[in-house]
Amino acid sequence: MIEIYKHQLANGLKIVVHPDITTPLVAVNLLYDVGARDEAPDKTGFAHLFEHLMFGGSVNVPSYDEPLQRVGGENNAWTSNDFTNYYVTLPAANIETAFWLESDRMLELNFTDKNLEVQRKVVIEEFKQRYLNQPYGDIPLLTRPMAYKQHPYQWPTIGKDISHIENATMDDVKNFFYRHYAPNNAVLSVSGNVQPDSVFKLAEKWFGDIPRRDVPVRNIPAELPQQEARFLQVKRDVPAHLLNIHFHIGARRDDDFCINDLLSDILSNGPSSRLIQSLIKDKQLFSDVNAYISGDMDPGLFAVTGRLMPGIKMKDAEDAVWNELHSITNTLVDDRELQKVKNKIESNLVFAEISFLNKAMNMAQYELMGDAENINREIEHYRAVTAEQIQATAGSVFRKENSSTLHYLAEKG
């Protein structure tokens, strides 16, 4: 159970705090409610670009890292389809340094042509290294637009096309910042050796004077139900064939999220899971196989993917995957198998509470999803899932007309 205290400033900034006297450290996490889904189709990659620009200094503090390092702090950030997250860990006695730095760059970044060009080159190079110049790297660029035809989940967080970042102007960058980087579009979460009232006072001191901004109301096109199977085959210079199948599922806050999560674990979490036992150990069709859900805020994807063993035909491998999916659709999961994956989920949730940084990040996300207190109720939702719900959900998800399949073939295979 995570003890949570909450407060909200007049400018809309939400604050959640968890005091933890077992550590001399503190995590200060700032989660902005902006991700790749908030980008225009012809200007993608901006949420990720800002993850880099935010470390280029603000108007008043030219170097973000230097003052943080002087007080023993570390920092990092990540971008997803839905959020952009920044965090700092440092000795609790020096927490005010984190508040100073985070509030200053929320107020106004140092918008210079030099900083934009530096970070533009970094992002372009990352795009090339991760998606264009590494084996299997372009899979997200192939599968997302196949699965999504209306929703902006059709491009990965780094963007749809490298030209969008290459052509980004200073006005584009400033407009994105002032539309999304605002106190009324963020959650500040703090976990560590702190007192809640002290944190609330610091938040008022450093963030209270930052004005609210006109954050646009989301008007994201809903993805229409998929009516027929989609298929794509490509050949690449890779060591082995790879099969990738995506199915549409619900959103993170939907009732069936926990059911799909458990379903993916039954299929591929651990050496005794179904796909690993059947397709790797028994039939030796795949060298690795995995099933997982995207966990997006809007309706997401259930992925089944695997790398084929040498000499195995793609049709044989795909048929074997569908046989396993049909099996879990047609037969109830036994109590022992279901309880085993529930136990794994519960242990993961408990272990996540050990890290003060994990607690800070998780509290912020749960607060943005509606209420940070739901983090303490999550396990009950998993415990309540029945074998009948697993079977019904599998039957709803694992349908040919709900699938988008990629055959990623090795040129020399």
Bridge partner list, 410: 236
Task: Enter the tokens of residue 384.
Answer: 């309540």
Top CATH class, 230-410 = alpha beta
The pLDDT tens digits of the residues spanning 172-182 come to 999 999 999 99
The average pLDDT across 279-307 equals 97
Confidence band for 413, pLDDT divided at 50, 70 and 90:
low
Q: Which of 305, 323, 313 is nearest to 268 (CA)?
A: 305
248 backbone dihedrals φ, ψ, rounded to 5°: -75, 135
- ∠ CA 155-213-90, nearest 5°, is 75
pLDDT in tens, 340-399: 999 999 998 888 888 999 999 999 999 999 999 999 999 999 999 999 999 999 999 999
Q: Is the separation of the CB atoms in 297 and 252 below 8 Å?
A: yes
Tokens representing residue 137 in the block? 């790297």
What whole-number distance in Å separates Cα of residue 179 and Cα of residue 359?
28
How far apart, in whole angstroms, are the C-alpha atoms of residue 140 and residue 169?
26
Of the candidates 25, 141, 147, the one whose C-alpha atom is nearest the C-alpha of residue 91 is: 25
Domains 5-208 and 230-410 agree in fold: yes
Decide which of 404 and 132 is more confident.
404
Mean of the per-residue pLDDT values of the chain: 95
Question: Using one digit for the tens of pLDDT, what is the confidence trace for 220-248?
Answer: 999 999 999 999 999 999 999 999 999 99
What are the tokens at 346? 């519960």
Bridge-based pairing state of the strands 186-192 and 14-19: parallel
pLDDT, one tens digit per residue, over 140-192 is 999 999 999 999 999 999 999 999 999 999 999 999 999 999 999 999 999 99
Report pTM: 0.94
Instruction: Report the C-alpha gap between 231 and 405 in whole angstroms.
Output: 5
Q: Give me the sheet containing 84-91, strands edge to edge.
A: 5-8, 14-19, 186-192, 25-32, 84-91, 74-79
Report the alpha-carbon distance of residue 186 to residue 364 in Å, rounded. Answer: 9
Q: Provide mean pLDDT across the span 261-285.
A: 97
Listed by start position, the domains of the chain span: 5-208, 230-410
Q: What would the pLDDT profile of 6-61 be if each residue is shown by its tens digit? A: 999 999 999 999 999 999 999 999 999 999 999 999 999 999 998 898 888 888 88
Q: Which residues contact 215 (CB under 8 A, 6 or more apart)?
A: 33, 179, 180, 182, 184, 185
- The residue written with tokens 């674990």 in the block is 265
What's the rounded Cα separation, in Å, for the pair 267 and 296? 20
Who contacts 172 (Cβ-Cβ below 8 Å, separation ≥6)?
A: 43, 46
Q: What whole-number distance in Å separates Cα of residue 274 and Cα of residue 320?
A: 12
Question: CA-to-CA distance for 390 and 63, rounded, in angstroms?
Answer: 51
Spatial CB neighbours of 166, under 8 Å, sequence gap ≥ 6: 120, 124
CA 167 to chain centre: 26
Question: For 53-97, how does the pLDDT look when each residue is reduced to its tens digit (9 = 90+)?
Answer: 888 888 888 888 899 999 999 999 999 999 999 999 999 999 999
> Residue 222: what residue type?
A
Class of domain 5-208: alpha beta
Tokens matching residue 163 = 């030209």
**Do 192 and 93 touch, CB atoms closer than 8 A?**
no
